[in-house]
Amino acid sequence: MSKKKESPLPPPKTFKLKENHSWTAPAGFKIVVLDRGAVSFNIPEKWFVAKMEPTFEMHNAEPPHDDARLSVTFFRHPPGIDWTGLPVEPLLKHSMKDVNDTNTLGTSAVTRLPRTDIEVVWAEQRFVDPVEKPRQAFTRVTLARGFNIHAILSFDYWVNQAAQFRPVWSEIVRSLQIGRVIADPLKGETLH
């Protein structure tokens, strides 16, 4: 969504998956795995990595021709922390309040997803893009917590393309996993 052209990443390395790998994604999607399973999710096959650091970013097309962007940041924490005194809903509200500015048109209520493995909440803001004024966009911010990890996913897309990109966001959060340790990424998760 940023119309600023970033410096190109080095060409990606391609590795052949092992014949008996366990990776599967729905038709039209591929799996993104960060830091050997700390965070993973499904994304449309044609999306590409635009930036690795300080935030991982994927776009649906090469800027400035992109219409959607996913940004992912995650934090590892030492084991044994009791997070009950810091519920995820107010944490997300507070983080979104900090980005409110004159371009923000409104913020939705926080929605908690019914997951039993990790905590996942999200909210959406509508804003006027400061570069493409008066064009309006959405950002859906998702906060996930579990297995000594906090992950923040921000998904930006134009308001007039919501019908196209909301199903993409739905698959990202449906498939979101955090805190896994995948010893051999060419094989996938080994269950036994």
Of 13 and 6, the one with more pLDDT? 13
Q: What is the pLDDT of residues 19-67, one digit of tens each?
A: 888 888 999 999 998 988 899 999 999 999 988 888 999 999 998 899 9
Whether residue 6 has pLDDT greater than 80: no
Whether residue 90 has pLDDT greater than 80: yes
Whether residue 15 has pLDDT greater than 80: no
Of 74 and 97, the one with more pLDDT? 74
Domain covering 29-178: architecture: 3-Layer(aba) Sandwich (3.40)
Task: Write down the pLDDT at residue 1.
Answer: 58
Confidence of residue 110 (pLDDT cuts 50, 70, 90): very high
Task: Write down the pLDDT at residue 7.
Answer: 55
| DSSP, res 53 | S
Whether residue 101 has pLDDT greater than 80: no
Residue with the two structure tokens 């700390």: 38
Of 148 and 102, the one with more pLDDT? 148
Domain boundaries, the chain: 29-178
Confidence of residue 188 (pLDDT cuts 50, 70, 90): confident
Average pLDDT over residues 93-121: 86
DSSP secondary structure letters along 148-183: TEEEEEEEEEEGGGHHHHHHHHHHHHHH-EES---S
DSSP secondary structure letters along 76-118: E--TT--GGGS-HHHHHHHHHHTT--TTEEEEPPPEE---SSS
* Token pair recorded at residue 119: 């905590």
Q: What is the pLDDT of residues 128-182, one digit of tens each?
A: 988 887 899 999 999 999 999 999 999 999 999 999 999 999 999 999 999 988 8
Whether residue 112 has pLDDT greater than 90: yes
